Amino acid sequence: MQTTTNRILSIIFLLVLASSFILGTQVTTTHSERITPNTGSIKLAVKPKRLPTKPLPDFSHIYNTQEKKQQFFSYLMPIVKQVNNEVLVERKNISTLSQKSSLTNRDKTYLNKLAKKYRVKTSLDNHAKFFQRLLIKVDQIPPSLVLAQAANESAWGTSRFAVEGNNLFGQWCFAKGCGLVPVRRDGDASHEVAKFSSVFHSVESYILNLNRHAQYSDLRAIRFRLRSNEQPINGIQLANGLLGYSERGQEYVNEIQSMIRFNNLASFDKNS
């Protein structure tokens, strides 16, 4: 009886030992696979999650001028910051990829997508020129300039195009039915004032327009020069690149710069 018991205990012991060895090996292998680093790739920054955008408030019923201005800027500034942050994520990724000795197919797809978005034609084969042209175009627009133009173009958020189309910057579109037809449009003109689903999309479209349209190459050159000299990007200087934004030319530029100064909008650039 004792011999039989000893044999049974010995068999159980061996089974337990074997099981421990097998389980231990499996755990070790799984752990090893999990911690092996992927040294062949660089993780790109991800755009921050978009926050819900509140509808445009009814600014027409705010009769105190200072209160209207304060509420207008308070409403718009978080949206401006969010759009600029998305652009800066793209800029950071471009800078990161420019440092790589070789690009993966995924890297190239990402860069080609940005090149199409910002209308950069230089081929990836010309490495240095391609990245420089992208970095000139993919950058933030100082909040002071955005706020001043939004206030000017939308009459502090009360214009028809702002109220009916969420368009704070007077942006045009050219397909029939794409927006709102101006009451005073010339008889031979076909443009409409673009209509947006939200103010966020209006700000996004405006910033993209300044960043890629040939009309604003001077604005981008001023911004690039400031960055190259490690100077703050500010609305007063970038406004000099808006000569083509309005038929009024320099008079319009002067007006935007005056609005920035009078409303102390440069303070928003420092906090952006």
Q: Which two tokens stand for residue 158?
A: 């009360």
Task: Give the pLDDT confidence of 211-270 residue by residue, as tens digits.
Answer: 999 999 999 999 999 999 999 999 999 999 999 999 999 999 999 999 999 999 999 998
Residue 145: predicted pLDDT = 98
- Alpha-carbon span 149 to 143, nearest angstrom: 10
- Alpha-carbon span 247 to 32, nearest angstrom: 66
What mean pLDDT do residues 44-71 have?
93
Q: Which two tokens stand for residue 101?
A: 């000795």
- pLDDT grade for 201, boundaries at 50, 70 and 90: very high
Q: What angle do CA 140, 148, 54 make, to 5 degrees?
A: 75
Asked if 236 contacts 219 with a C-beta cutoff of 8 angstroms, the reply is: no
Q: Residue 240 carries which DSSP code?
A: G
Give Cα separations from 163 to 92, 146, 154, 166, 254 (angstroms). 35, 18, 9, 6, 26
- pLDDT grade for 179, boundaries at 50, 70 and 90: confident
Residue 187: predicted pLDDT = 64
What mean pLDDT do residues 186-206 have?
88
Asked if 217 contacts 71 with a C-beta cutoff of 8 angstroms, the reply is: no
Task: Give the pLDDT confidence of 134-172 residue by residue, as tens digits.
Answer: 999 999 999 999 999 999 999 999 999 999 999 999 998
3-state secondary structure of 143: helix
Q: Is 3 exposed, middle or buried (0-12, 13-18, 19+ CB in 10 A)?
A: exposed
Q: Is 146 exposed, middle or buried (0-12, 13-18, 19+ CB in 10 A)?
A: buried
Residue 55 host element (H or E): none
Asked if 122 contacts 34 with a C-beta cutoff of 8 angstroms, the reply is: no
Per cent of the chain over pLDDT 90 is 68
Instruction: Report domain extents, the chain.
Output: 59-157+198-270
Residue-level length of the chain: 272
The number of C-alpha atoms within 13 Å of 188 and in the hemisphere containing its C-beta is 0
Q: Which two tokens stand for residue 164?
A: 């009916």
Task: Give the pLDDT confidence of 118-139 residue by residue, as tens digits.
Answer: 999 978 888 889 999 999 999 9
**Backbone phi, psi, residue 158, to 5°:** -115, -5
Asked if 46 contacts 88 with a C-beta cutoff of 8 angstroms, the reply is: no
Q: Which two tokens stand for residue 114?
A: 């940005």
DSSP H stretches of helix in 119-216: 127-137, 143-154, 160-165, 199-212
Task: Give the pLDDT confidence of 23-55 residue by residue, as tens digits.
Answer: 343 333 223 223 333 334 678 999 888 888 899
Residue 36: predicted pLDDT = 31
Instruction: State the chain's mean pLDDT as an integer.
Output: 85
- Alpha-carbon span 73 to 151, nearest angstrom: 9
